[in-house]
Amino acid sequence: MKKRRFIFVILLTFLLEAAVVFKFMGGNAEASQDVVAVNKIVKTVEQNWERLAASPEYAESHSDPERARNSQASSGSLDYTVIDRRGKVLYKTREHLSETISQAVSHRDTILEVEKSGAAVGKVIIYNSRTADAAAGKRRAALGLMFLLLIQSLCLAGFAAGLYGTLVKPFRKLEGFAERIAGGNLDIPLEMDRQNLFGAFTESFDLMRAELKKARLAEAEANAGKKELVAKLSHDIKTPVASIKAASEVGFALAESERMRENYRQIIQKADQINSLVTNLFTATLKELKELTVTSEDMESSEIKRLLENADYLHRALIPAIPPCLVLADRLRLQQVFDNIFANSYKYSDTAIWVRAEKVGGLLIVELEDNGGGLPAEEIFFIKEKFRRGSNAKAVEGAGLGLFISDCFMEAMNGTLTVENGERGLKVRVSVPLSGGICSEN
């Protein structure tokens, strides 16, 4: 319906513009005078010529409003000037009329001879009001055309704004969304408007994110299962190996021959080797996530506000002004850190988030605190560990990797991430190093 209205308005303005242009181009500025009124004026002047010529003061009769009105009424409301053969003005119906032949020609007035007894005694210059009327009509047409162009420009500006909202803006959101997906952040949903032309298109991308998240959670659960399996196997293997080693040490102590002692010595060495291999197998899984690359570079602190706004996908946080600084950080990884913090807060506490930023020494510190009451004190110490989750996360899906990954990223950027209970709830403090320890105060 809106599209039809817009098209109707545009077509209507085009038709009106065409009508105005047609009228503008088709106007006849040289239309002929009223022949009857002109002849009547000439006859009246000829009948009163002797009085006009004999009474010079009559030339000023145009200053008499009553007489001028009577003269115009008798001539069909036409203004005119009467001059003799020498060019002397004998009569004018009003001021600012042509008084010479040259003026009359330039103004395209009608010039007629006044005859008495078959001889020309003077001229009547009848004012051509059609030229002024045509000029006024053209001015009105130009103003009307400008008004229509203004309406058309406003319609086109509204159309451009609509195109921006329906085409450009969704694609810009998709650009930031793609960066997050590439960085491994699958928790932040893609905002969409189903009334939008690309609503179904963007919804497909969010469905892709949801499916990738399910696959990632399944992978995380599989990794957690592997970890538990490795822990169980290491315990089960280390126990008999320890027994074998202990028995071998007793046998080594009681052996009577060098050959027997050498056999027990090899058994003890192999038991130690098995124990080391099992320990390496257990610790290898802890190094997997630390292989993600982090590249720090100079970045204006004003960008941190945009990162926080991007992470606040429910728009519940009041993002403050960030002190103007030059920080040294990886923009993508720092975005992931804030994304993980906001996602955890919204998943587990589902409250507004308080944000504060300040410069302390060579660090820019950003504090984020929810209103969920925090965690038990004994859980704070291990909440950043891999696969660790708080006691309030039992009914919420998750892998227990968000804070672990964020802590690894901040460590790689020479910053820190600390978690503690604040006055309202769980407080996470992100400390980003300044570039060269420099921060502007203005």
Per-10-residue mean pLDDT for the chain, 442 residues long? 66 73 58 74 85 61 46 62 87 84 84 86 84 72 77 78 70 66 65 59 68 75 67 60 80 86 85 73 55 83 90 87 92 88 86 93 93 85 79 67 85 93 92 76 46
Residues 249, 345, single domain; the answer is no
Give residue 358's domain range: 297-439
Residues 360, 429, single domain; the answer is yes
Residues 316, 409, single domain; the answer is yes
pTM value is 0.44
In the chain, helix, strand, coil percent, each to 5? 60, 15, 25
Give the chain's domain count.
4
294-351 pLDDT, tens per residue? 889 999 999 999 899 888 878 889 899 999 989 999 988 898 899 889 988 888 888 9
Whether 45 is covered by a domain: the verdict is yes
| Residue that terminates a domain, selected from 262, 287, 312 | 287
Whether 292 is covered by a domain: the verdict is no
d(CA 407, CA 415): 9
Here the CATH number for the domain that contains residue 265 is 1.10.287
**82: Cβ–Cβ under 8 A, 6 or more apart, which residues?**
45, 52, 89, 90, 91, 92, 114, 122, 123, 124, 125
268-301 pLDDT, tens per residue? 888 877 877 776 665 555 555 455 678 899 999 9
Q: What does the pLDDT read at residue 60? A: 45
